[in-house]
Chain A
Amino acid sequence: MTQKTERRHQVRLSLYGELPVRFLDAEHLNEIFVTPVDITPQGLGLLVSPAPQPGESMIMQFLDESHPQILLRCCHSQAHQTGFVIPGMEALRRCGFVVVLKEAEDINLVQIFSGNDSVFIGE
């Protein structure tokens, strides 16, 4: 129920382009490939391969080190609709992530990414 509230309480903005970050799984530090889908001040909607399970975390590292790395927790992970199976990426999922740092309330992902030319955030 808590997770559900987390998912729904903020308006999501559409997000595309390339985020100036790389994602690593928190346990083995392997790179995770993503395609951005939407964003809220404290959350990201991403297509992820290989996808984590809800509750698992991943690290978001800024390529230019302009910000300290941010820990994100997967709050939902779902298979995409029928027919969306990419060859070689069978573990791909549409996932929602939220910022889990103690200072999460001070982080605003929308503001961080909206200043970047390679990222397009739309109402």
Chain B
Amino acid sequence: MLSDQDLARSSIVKTFHSLGFPDVSIGKSLADWSRISEKKTVDWLIIYLPGCMDRLDRAWIESFYEKSRHTSVRFSIVVTEQERFHLPILFAAGALSWLPAEIVRDSKALSSWITHFFGSILMSVQDNRHEAYVAATSLRSYLREAMIWDDLIELDKTMVDAFPSQPDNLLTLAESYFCEGDYNKGRACVEQLRQVAPESYEEQIQQLQERFPNSLLKKEESFVERFSVKNIACVERDVRERQLIDTVLRRLGASEIRFFDSFRSAWGTLSQSSGPDMLIFEWTKRQDDLSSIQFAQRVRDRFPSLPIIGLVSQILPQEGQLLNDLGTVQIIHKPLREEPTLMSLAFAIQQSKSPTERKTIEQKIIQCLQSGEQSLAFSLRKQFIAKKSIAQSRKLYVEAMFYFYLHNYVKARDLLVKAIKVAKEESGPEMEGVKTSIDKTVLLSKCLFKLGDKEVAVRLLESTRQRSPYNIGILTALMEMNYEVGRIKEAKEAMADAESIDAGNIRLLQASAHLSLLVGDTEKATACMEKVENLQDLVRRLNNQAILLIQSDQYSKGVDLYQSALNSLPTHETGLIATVNYNMALAHFRNDQFDKGYASLQSALEHTHSKIYTKAQNLQRRIEASQAAGQPLQFPKVAAMGRGHEREHPSEGFLQEALSCHYQPHIALYGLFRAANRTKAEVA
């Protein structure tokens, strides 16, 4: 127990002793923690330090689990009423529970609280539930009382995604949405729960709906409201077609419809927004405007989950392939007729939000896996596998997709090879004229590349390029793969091909910046980076690449890559410059280049508002402490690679696979939950 409050300390110690805990150690400040933890193994740390939540001490608590030797300790926090708003952040940092300061002086109330808390832990263990459930229950009690709906929903979504096999989390999430007043989303959760576990939760659902009668009021809803499609954008120049679309969408209840008569104006507006709920666009190519090929790919990169519908009069097979690759939910032929268009648009809206057909379920699963919506992905997978009419080859592909996103590339590869073989058997002479899908080959190529079979991977991807020559995603992947296998010329050719399709495509600009940095062309890298708004992903990939180089005994190449990034990053990207400097400092330290590392660390510390600043400060302190103690600071040679790290040996069960891959470290909500207000603070 760490507390500077004498009364509270004695009350807690007394209570614990009376409950049969023989060994309670006491400290008066956070500084005492080192003394206590060095002497003995501690299971549970309780912190009650009123006023300790200033920036420095909160940082101490937040970085508690960054020190690996603390991973077996759990901490709970006693907070005064004024300090409670820190709780979401403390739980995101791994707190197991909280208790109000008011009760610690009342030994009866405290005893009752502790007994109740241990009861909830025991129940959790009996139900074979993760300790995150205990932490979530504790945090939820505060969030509901304080009516902090943003964080409450964030917490419940976290639980839903982290534990997809526990459908009751959906019920809790539905309740949170109802509390917030977002009945559509709440109802969607209830519907999802009914799909995942038919009838098992009917009683609880009924009780919930009785508590929130507004959740049942559906009568006034229009078709588009039912599927939460409010804001629709449409790019169509032809006045007659626009009028017809407007009529049809209004029949479906849409009121927010924005029409654009050029792709350039549409992109200008949409790229600066959070995106519409649905996009309808004509397939055309006009001078002085972006082409459909360019626009569709820019939109897909910017809004990966946005349902898109193509209005087509004439289309080449390769363009049709691209529409398919981009996950177009519907293609409608022009000239439009009202009734068929109404039906097609309604079907597209319904399928994009609540898919029931093979193709749309697949698209939704991929979107969910990409965005980390694990729970929905798992429930859709169940629905997909159960459909007898779906070809075995597609089921194998979807299974492979799950393994791919769980980084089990061996299993994904094996399933894909089987899927391709089965697809050939399924097609037979009757299906002549139907081309097999390229998605399996693209994914197989990525798996093989991850597994080190790089030559074959490049050849496979090259074969898909012929089928879908306008796909910039394939070209950028080819560019990167070719570079990796040392074919710089082919990599540059792929880049040139992609640039000839759309030199302003963000994904391409990022890949071009990446390639330019790798080949040392800082001028081109700078030019590309200046056009890209969000460079975080690029910096993350560069960091991983530099770590790989350093790990493979190419220390100077790795450092050159960092340096080249620093030379190319726009000067206003101070946060990212600090991050690169910090990472470079670590690389130097790991390779016993102390002076260079220290210089890079100082550069990182120049940017006091960067996200990395606190970490850099901590590192600086550790270095100073080690210098004062006359002991050189030790750095492990191998750096962590994050989620992208490859694992070749699949574990036995699917769920275990998911758990071991995504839910580390298993310390309450640490690594799972991210407080919404923290995100806001960081953005600010």
Question: Complex Cα distance A18/B331, Å?
Answer: 8
Contacts of B347 in A (CB 8 A): 35, 37, 47
Whole-angstrom CA separation of A16 from B323 in the bound complex:
12
Q: Are A123 and B436 in touch, CB under 8 angstroms?
A: yes
Q: Which residue of A lies closest to B350 (CB)?
A: A84
Assign chain A's interface to a size class.
35 or more
B357 at the A interface (CB under 8 A) = yes
Q: Which of A7, A89, A120 contacts B342 (CB 8 A)?
A: A89
A12 touches B358 (CB 8 A): yes
Rounded to whole Å, the gap between the CB of B184 and the closest CB of chain A is 11
Contacts of B346 in A (CB 8 A): 84, 86, 89
Contact with A along B328-340 (1 / 0, CB 8 A): 0011110000011
> Which A residues are in CB contact (< 8 Å) with B359?
14, 122
Q: Which chain A residues in 78-123 approach chain B with CB under 8 Å?
A: 80-89, 92, 108, 110-111, 114-115, 117-118, 120-123
The reply to whether A121 and B434 contact each other, CB–CB distance below 8 Å, is yes
Q: Are B434 and A110 in contact (CB under 8 A)?
A: yes
Output the least CB separation between A86 and chain B (Å). 5
Chain B interface, number of residues (Cβ within 8 angstroms): 48
Residue contact A33 to B358, C-beta cutoff 8 Å: no
Cα distance A69–B227 in the bound complex, in angstroms: 38
* A11 surroundings in chain B (CB, below 8 A): 389, 391, 426
Using known A-B contacts A16-B330, A118-B333, determine if residue A41 contacts B223 with beta carbons closer than 8 Å.
no
Q: Bound state CA distance, A117 and B343, in angstroms?
A: 21
Taking the complex as formed, is A55 at the interface, i.e. its CB lies under 8 A from any CB of chain B?
A: no
B312-320, B453-461, B519-527: which lies at the interface: B312-320
Residues of B within 8 A of A47 (CB): 343, 347
> Which residue, B227, B342, B437, has most C-beta atoms of chain A within 10 A?
B342
Asked whether, in the complex, the Cβ of A83 is within 8 Å of the Cβ of B226, the reply is yes
> Is B324 positioned at the interface, with any CB of A under 8 Å from its CB?
yes
In the complex, are the beta carbons of A123 and B393 less than 8 A apart? Answer: yes
Within the complex, the shortest CB–CB distance from B200 to chain A, in Å, comes to 18
B57 vs chain A, min Cβ distance (A):
51
**Are A120 and B339 interface neighbours, CB within 8 A?**
no
C-alpha spacing A86/B345, complex, angstroms:
10
B433 pairs with A115, CB closer than 8 A: yes
- Given contacts A83-B226, A86-B223, A123-B391, is CB(A13)–CB(B434) below 8 Å? yes
Q: Are B251 and A88 in contact (CB under 8 A)?
A: yes
A53 to B333, CA, bound (A): 28
Decide if A61 is an interface residue (CB 8 Å cutoff). no
B432 at the interface (CB under 8 A from A): yes
In angstroms, Cα B533 to Cα A103, docked, is 61
A81 and B357 form a contact (CB under 8 A)? no
Which chain B positions have C-beta within 8 A of A108? Answer: 430
Residues of A within 8 A of B314 (CB): 117
Chain B residues within 8 Å of A89, by CB: 339, 342-343, 346
**Counting CB contacts under 8 A, is A56 at the interface?**
no
B148 within 8 A of A: no
Taking CB as reference atom, which chain B residue is nearest A18? B333
Which residues on the B side are within 8 Å of A16 (C-beta)?
Answer: 330-331
A/B interface sample: 25 pairs, CB < 8 A = A8-B389, A12-B358, A12-B390, A13-B431, A16-B331, A35-B347, A38-B358, A38-B389, A41-B430, A41-B431, A83-B350, A84-B350, A87-B252, A87-B253, A88-B251, A89-B342, A111-B433, A114-B434, A117-B314, A121-B434, A122-B359, A123-B391, A123-B394, A123-B423, A123-B427
Query: Which residues of B does A touch, CB under 8 Å?
Result: 191, 223, 226-227, 251-253, 312, 314-315, 317, 320, 323-324, 330-333, 339-340, 342-344, 346-347, 350, 354, 356-359, 388-391, 393-394, 423, 426-427, 430-437
- Please give me the 3 A-B residue pairs with the lowest Cβ-Cβ distance, nearest first: A18-B333, A114-B433, A14-B359
**Could you list 4 further interchain pairs (A-B, Cβ under 8 angstroms) beyond the known A33-B343, A86-B252?**
A37-B357, A38-B389, A84-B346, A110-B430
Chain A residues proximal to chain B, CB less than 8 Å: 7-8, 11-14, 16-18, 33-35, 37-38, 41, 47, 49, 80-89, 92, 108, 110-111, 114-115, 117-118, 120-123
